[in-house]
Amino acid sequence: MRQIVLDTETTGLEVSQGHRVIEIGCIELKDRRPTGRNFQKYLCPDREVDPGALAVHGISSEFLSSQPRFLDVAEEFLEFVRDAELIIHNAAFDIGFLDAELARLKPPRGSMSDLCPVLDTLALARQLHPGQRNSLDALCKRYSVDSSRREYHGALLDATILTDVYLAMTGGQGALTLEADAMDAAGHTTVVRVERGTTRIPVLRATKAELVAHERSLDAVSKAAGGRVLFRDLAG
């Protein structure tokens, strides 16, 4: 099973006000294991970054002015996510912005949700933890995922953190790190396995009445089997 953990950064919060995607970050999983492949692009939005957004991600309009536009990387991006399930936190936000970018292409490319199935980890977290805070930061604390490098939001960094959170929420398996010592000689990120603490599983013990009923059942089996019951032989 191929999955892509995806995050975006934008010039502002409202796509309806013409705000644009300025960074896309994707992490590839196969059979719940990070493969080491990722996709990351900064994008020129042809508009200014709102001060509020700049305070969140620290990506300036000056820096973005020299980056490619979405139309320049659209085919590469779509090829990377093709035939994969997208895993996104608060998916409606990112999908809305990506759909707007796809609509600007000539010809328009439809909706991301038409191209790929989408799993929203915010909706999943609300099912698992109703009535609790389920932001990515809150989930990092709940599942002991290290987010100490997250001074600013960044699409690839947030996708990396979300990878760990998603795997923890759904059973846990592996993690992807962007630490320098996790780079190979070519500068590619590598997969680092992270062992999670043992989950306590509740043990439901039989009541006295259930034990009596169990013994009666074994007596009936013993009678039908000519006096021997394998379960009692093994237990005794």
* Residue 89 is a catalytic residue: no
pLDDT score for 218: 67
Q: Which of 19, 153, 188, 214 is catalytic?
A: 153
Rounded CA-CA distance 100/222 in Å is 71
Q: Which helix (DSSP H) or strand (DSSP E) does residue 24 occupy?
A: strand 21-30
Mean pLDDT, consecutive 10-residue stretches, the chain (236 aa), reads: 97 97 98 96 98 94 98 98 97 98 94 96 97 95 86 86 96 51 44 43 61 72 62 53
pLDDT score for 213: 74
Residues 144, 150, 153, 159: is their CA dihedral positive or negative? negative
> What are the structural domains, with CATH classification, of the chain?
2-192 (3.30.420.10), 202-236 (no CATH)
pLDDT score for 147: 84
pLDDT score for 216: 76
pLDDT score for 205: 63
Edge-to-edge strand ranges of the sheet holding 21-30: 33-42, 21-30, 2-10, 85-88, 118-120
What is the 3-state secondary structure of 142-196?
HCCCCCCCCCCCCHHHHHHHHHHHHHHHCCCCCEECCCHHHECCCCCECEECCCC
**Which SS3 state, helix, strand or coil, does residue 99 take?**
helix
User: pTM here?
Assistant: 0.72
193-215 core/surface letters (b: 16 or more CB in 10 A; e: else): ebeeeeeeeeeeeeeeeeeeeee
